[in-house]
Amino acid sequence: VWNNCLKFIEDNISPQAYKTWFEPVLAVKLQDQSLSIQVPSKFFYEWLEEHYFNLLKVALTKEIGKGAKLLYIIKMENRAGSSQSFTEKIPSSHRGKVSSQDVNMKVTSKSPELKNPFVIPGIRNLKIDSQLNANYNFDNFLEGESNRLARSAGKAIANKPGGTSFNPLLVFGGSGLGKTHLAHAIGVDIKEKYPDKTVLYISAEKFTQQYIDSAIKRKNLNDFIHFYQLIDVLIVDDIQLLSGKMKTQEAFFHIFNHLHQNGKQVILTSDKAPVDMQEIEQRLLSRFKWGLSAELQVPDYYTRRKIIESKLYRDGVEMPEDIIDYVAKNIKSNIRELEGAIISLIAHSSFSKTEVDIELAQKIVSNFVRKTKKDVSIDQIQKTVSEYFNMDIETLQSKTRKRHIVQARQIAMYFAKKMTKSSLASIGKQIGSRDHATVLHACKTVDNLQSTDKEFKKYVEDLTSKLKN
């Protein structure tokens, strides 16, 4: 088949071009209507797709039929020698473009019998695993006052990805309020309506990891950015995790701009409102504001009931009215906890075969409602620690090098780092104007002493329980 394709191609392009771009290509296998060919590099693949797309399409359709697909397998080239000889063949005007020989992005590699190489579906029919979870869809994302704006913006986007003014869509709100669910639902809906669109769901954490992996291998950075630029709908979950990661943000900035300029849809979630996102570059934050920021709020009683009832209905479980009411009234600020309590209730009722009574409901609910702990402040920590060691706060903060005072101070720093969100620098400043290195040293010392000194360990444990209450 490939030989016939080659004949056709040879007849239609210059001998020089044929020699350069088609002779190095190897046919690997033909399965169903998919022909796999091996190319020497990612650059090669791009070149073929860019310049010989139509020609290849005609040739393949002629030989294989209308459903013909082309898969590129990129040969890994790690040694300088092999890429060198390849560079020579490229017309000099394009030499600068040869930036990367090995692709390290996980574009579906569904070819177990071929080790090493990465497979990239060709003919602009990129198959990327969208990483979407079909269990998170619009049907089971119940509507309420608290999510109406975000939900309808999501629906509008699903109807016309990239074609609304909601680009990017930033969904923000507290933990357990449905950000991840909604993000998937939009992607799932788009995939249903536009199966050919390339959708990718990724957590900011994974994105960062991929970025770091690529950056370490230097050469792959372009591939990383390039890969993301091929996507039609990019969904990045928990974008607040990019805080402080300036290099990752920069890569994301490039990707974002490219996608946005090309009318591609970007959907982001965050547990903070844009104004509250710290250590996110201003230029990135200002991009977020180009579209729509929609908050997922705490659901009202009515919505909470609806969520409980739908869950019970789906599982075919009946629950007394007063139990439903009790759960809906007592778990208010986190749908994940609400669901956890219901699942637990369902489990109990199906095991014991008796009706769930209010007492059991109370017990279960109390397990799910997080005790509303107030945040501990650095001042409280200093106060508790100095009281515990019978000294006043001024002593704790003083410049003295007396061992027991130094230790108390270090313990205070350790708890400040552990129990508050303050930076090392700000902890140092508040506990006797030390610098961040001192705080870091203190944290390490306390960690070490705990494992070597029993008495010391007990201090830390005592203080932990004091501070937690």
Chosen from ligand ADP, Mg ion, none, partner binding at 245 (C-beta under 5 to 8 Å by type): none
Q: How far is the CB of 251 from ligand ADP (least distance, A)?
A: 24
**Stretch of 16-24, 30-38, 176-184, 369-377 contacting ligand ADP, by CB under 6 A:** 176-184
Site string for ligand ADP, 374-413 (x = CB under 6 A): ----------------------------------------
Does the annotation flag 62 for ligand binding? no
361 binds ligand ADP (CB under 6 A): no
Three-class secondary structure assignment of the chain? CHHHHHHHHHHHCCHHHHHHHCCCCEEEEEECCEEEEEECCHHHHHHHHHHCHHHHHHHHHHHHCCCCEEEEEECCCCCHHHHHHHHHHCCHHHHHHCCCCCCCCCCCCCCCCCCCCEEEECCCCCCCCCCCCCCCCCCCCCCCHHHHHHHHHHHHHHHCCCCCCCCCEEEECCCCCCHHHHHHHHHHHHHHHCCCCCEEEEEHHHHHHHHHHHHHCHHHHHHHHHHHHCCCEEEEECHHHHCCCHHHHHHHHHHHHHHHHCCCEEEEEECCCHHHCCCCCHHHHHHHCCCEEEECCCCCHHHHHHHHHHHHHHCCCCCCHHHHHHHHHHCCCCHHHHHHHHHHHHHHHHHHCCCCCHHHHHHHHHHHCCCCCCCCCHHHHHHHHHHHCCCCHHHHHCCCCCHHHHHHHHHHHHHHHHHCCCCHHHHHHHCCCCCHHHHHHHHHHHHHHHHHCHHHHHHHHHHHHHHHC
**Contact partner, 177, from Mg ion, ligand ADP, none, Cβ < 5-8 Å per class:** ligand ADP
Minimum CB distance to Mg ion smaller for 41 or for 203: 203
Choice from 36, 104, 147, 220 touching ligand ADP (CB under 6 A): 147
Nearer to ligand ADP, 104 or 147 (CB): 147
Binds ligand ADP (CB under 6 A): choice among 5, 74, 103, 142:
142
CB of 332 to ligand ADP, least distance (A): 14
The answer to the question of residue 152 lying near ligand ADP (CB under 6 A) is: no
253 within 8 A of 280, measured Cβ to Cβ: no
Residue from the set 176, 187, 291, 428 that interacts with ligand ADP by CB under 6 A = 176
CB nearer Mg ion, residue 267 or residue 381: 267
Q: State the minimum distance, in angstroms, from the CB of residue 436 to ligand ADP.
A: 31
Instruction: Draw the binding track, 97-136, toward ligand ADP (x: CB under 6 A; -: no contact).
Output: ----------------------------------------
In the complex, least distance from residue 312 CB atom to ligand ADP, rounded to whole angstroms = 13
Structure tokens at 63: 């030989």
- Minimum Å gap between C-beta 212 and ligand ADP is 23
CB 137 within 8 A of CB 201: no
Is residue 349 within the footprint of ligand ADP (CB under 6 A)?
Answer: no
464 is in an annotated binding site: no
Assess 335 for contact with ligand ADP (CB under 6 A): yes
Told to check if 260 binds ligand ADP by CB under 6 A, we report no
- Provide the 10 A C-beta neighbour count for residue 326: 17
Residues 177-216 contacting Mg ion, CB under 5 A: 179-180
Distance of CA 326 to the CA centre of its chain: 35
Q: Which two tokens stand for residue 113?
A: 């019998």
- The partner in contact with residue 202, picked from Mg ion, ligand ADP, none with C-beta cut-offs of 5 to 8 angstroms by kind, is none
Say whether residue 334 binds Mg ion (CB under 5 A): no
Is 180 labelled a binding residue? yes
- Report how far residue 315's alpha carbon sits from residue 348's, in angstroms, rounded to the nearest whole number: 13
Residue selected from 199, 235, 307, 364 as contacting ligand ADP according to rule CB under 6 A = 307
Instruction: Please count the CA atoms within 13 angstroms of the CA of 346 that sit on its side-chain side.
Output: 17
Q: What does 307 bind: Mg ion, ligand ADP, none (CB cut-off 5 to 8 Å by kind)?
A: ligand ADP
Q: Please say which residue, 175 or 448, places its beta carbon nearer to ligand ADP.
A: 175
Q: How far apart are CA 395 and CA 433, in angstroms?
A: 13
179 is known to lie in a ligand binding site: yes
Out of ligand ADP, Mg ion, none, what residue 130 binds, judged by CB under 5 to 8 A for its kind, is none
Question: Binding-site residue total for Mg ion (CB under 5 A)?
Answer: 2
CB atoms within 10 A of CB 62: 12
Q: Mark 41-80 with x for binding to ligand ADP (rule: CB under 6 A) and - for no binding.
A: ----------------------------------------
Complex with ligand ADP: residue 54 or 175, whichever CB lies closer: 175
- What's the CA gap between 409 and 388, in Å, rounded? 12
Task: Summarize the annotated binding site as residue ranges.
Answer: 176, 178-180
Residues that bind ligand ADP (CB under 6 A): 140-142, 147, 173, 175-181, 307, 335-336, 339
Residues that bind Mg ion (CB under 5 A): 179-180
Task: Summarize the annotated binding site for ATP as residue ranges.
Answer: 176, 178-180
